[in-house]
Amino acid sequence: MKKTLALILAACMSLSLVACGGGGGSDNKGSASSTGGSQPAGGSQGSSASEPAGNGETKTVGIAMPTQSLERWNRDGAYLDEQFKAAGYNTIVTYSDNKNEQQVNDIQNMLSQGVDLLIIAAIDGNGLNTVMNDAGAAGIPVIAYDRLIMNDNSSYYVSFDNYTVGTLQGTYVKDALDLDNAAGPFNIEFTAGDPADNNAPFFYNGAFDVLKPYIDSGKLVVPSGQTAFDAVATDQWQTDVALDRAQNVLASFYSDGTKLDAWVCSNDSTSMGVTQAVVQDYAGGNTVIITGQDGDVANLRNIKDGKQSMTVYKAVANEAVVTLDLAKAILDGKTADASLISASGWDFDCAFDTESYETTPGNKCPSFLLVPDVVTADNMEEKLVTPGYYKVGADGYLEATNG
C-alpha cells in the first residue's frame, strides 16, 4: 500500500513538474533529456534496428547514468541512447551529477512518465531501494548497467567481468616487474575506487589477489602499509581525492629517496590523480608502473607519453549492444539467458553468469558479462583505432571518433 501510494504521489508531482515545463502532460513519453558529452564512436553492431514488437505503441526506455564528469558515462549514455532510438524506442536519458538523491528523483520521474523498462548505472548500489521497490511494484523490469544494484528487483545485470579487470591490472604489474624471476624487492602502492560502487572491491580484489603472494613472500613491499580496501578507496572515483592521498603517501613514505616501482590504480580517473602526484612529487628517476581502466582520452595521452603504463579497456559500445538485445528480449517476453548470446550474432565475447553476482545474500542476479582488454602504448592503435572506437588526431594522440 505504502509503495503504491508513494508511486502515485511521485507520479502526480512529476506530471505537474512536466506540465510547468511545458512538456505536455501525460503524453510526454520519450521527451528525452540531454545526453550531453561526447558522441558515440563506432563499435560492433549486434542488433537489428527492427520496430519494437507489441501492440503498436512505441515503448519507452529510461536510461539513468551516474555523471557526466567522468568520460566513460558520456560514452555509455550516448551509445545507449543512439542504439535504442535506432531500434525504434523512445528514450529518456539522465545524468545525476554523482548525487544519489538526484538519481532517485530522476528515476522516480522516469517511472512517472511511464517508462516500460529501466537501465540504471547506479551511483550508490545500496541507495536505490525506494525507486527499485517502486519499479518492482509497477512491474517495470530493471537492467543494472555496469554496476550492480543491491536490490532484488534488479532483473538482470550487464557488465564486464569486473574481477578480471583487476587481474589484468595485477598481471600487468607482475609481468612488468618480472616478479617470478627478478630479485626485488619492489615497492608498490594501491588506489581503489568508490566504496558505494559494487564494482570497486571486485577490481581491487582481482588485482590484489594476483600480487598478494609476492607481498607475502616479501618480493613486493607496500611502504605505506595501506592495503585494506577502505584505506585505499577513493570517494566517487574522484581524481582530486586520489591525488591528495597519493601526495600524502609520497610525502610520508618516499620523500627520503625510497624507490617507488608501481602503483595499481583501479581506473583512469584515479590513475590521473596518482600520475599527477608522481610527476610532481616523486623524486626518483625510474618510470613508475601505473595502471588504469576505461581508456579515457586524457589517460591515453599519458600512456602515449609514458606517464601511465596501461589501461583496461571495456568496449562500452558492445555493452550497449548487449543491453539493447537483452531489453528487446525482456520487452518482447522472450527468454533472456545464454540463448540470447548464441542467437545474437555478436562479434565479441560475452558470458551468461548466474553465480557471481548477488543483489542480496543468496539472491543471484543473472548477468551478461563482457570481456575487458589490456591497452598499452604498443597496441593502442590496434585495440582502439582499428575497431573504430577512437581515431588518431592531428597531434598524434587518440581522440573520440566523432568528438
Q: Which residues bind ligand GAL (CB under 6 A)?
A: 70, 72, 146-147, 193, 197, 199, 237, 267, 269, 293-294, 314
Q: How far is the CB of 59 from ligand GAL (least distance, A)?
A: 27
Whether the bond between 40 and the residue before it is cis, its omega within 30 degrees of 0, is: no
3-state secondary structure (DSSP) of residue 28: coil
CB 142 within 8 A of CB 120: yes
If the CB atoms of residues 82 and 146 are measured against ligand GAL, the closer one turns out to be 146
Rounded Cα distance between 250 and 219, Å, is 20
If the CB atoms of residues 70 and 322 are measured against ligand GAL, the closer one turns out to be 70
CB atoms within 10 A of CB 74: 22
Rounded Cα distance between 171 and 110, Å, is 42
Output phi, psi for 106, to 5 deg.
Answer: -60, -40
If the CB atoms of residues 134 and 319 are measured against ligand GAL, the closer one turns out to be 319
If the CB atoms of residues 187 and 199 are measured against ligand GAL, the closer one turns out to be 199
Closest CA to 147 of 195, 97, 85, 93: 195
CB 275 within 8 A of CB 307: yes
If the CB atoms of residues 208 and 237 are measured against ligand GAL, the closer one turns out to be 237
Q: How far is the CB of 203 from ligand GAL (least distance, A)?
A: 8
Q: How far is the CB of 363 from ligand GAL (least distance, A)?
A: 21
Angle among Cα 146, 312, 47 to the nearest 5 degrees reads 50
- 148 pairs with which residues across the strands? none
If the CB atoms of residues 69 and 226 are measured against ligand GAL, the closer one turns out to be 69
Q: How far is the CB of 362 from ligand GAL (least distance, A)?
A: 24
List Cα–Cα distances, 226 to 136, 190, 233, 363, in angstroms.
41, 8, 10, 33
Q: How far is the CB of 193 from ligand GAL (least distance, A)?
A: 6
Q: How far is the CB of 94 from ligand GAL (least distance, A)?
A: 16
Take residue 273 and report the three cell numbers written for it: 590523480
The letter for the amino acid at 3 is: K
Q: How far is the CB of 303 from ligand GAL (least distance, A)?
A: 16
Q: How far is the CB of 214 from ligand GAL (least distance, A)?
A: 26
Q: How far is the CB of 102 from ligand GAL (least distance, A)?
A: 16
If the CB atoms of residues 66 and 141 are measured against ligand GAL, the closer one turns out to be 66
User: What single string gives the DSSP state of each residue in 258-283?
Assistant: ----EEEESSHHHHHHHHHHHHHH--
Rounded Cα distance between 383 and 373, Å, is 8
Q: Which residue has the cell 545524468?
A: 95
Output phi, psi for 119, to 5 deg.
Answer: -120, 120
If the CB atoms of residues 105 and 162 are measured against ligand GAL, the closer one turns out to be 162
If the CB atoms of residues 146 and 189 are measured against ligand GAL, the closer one turns out to be 146
Q: Which residue has the cell 618480472?
A: 178
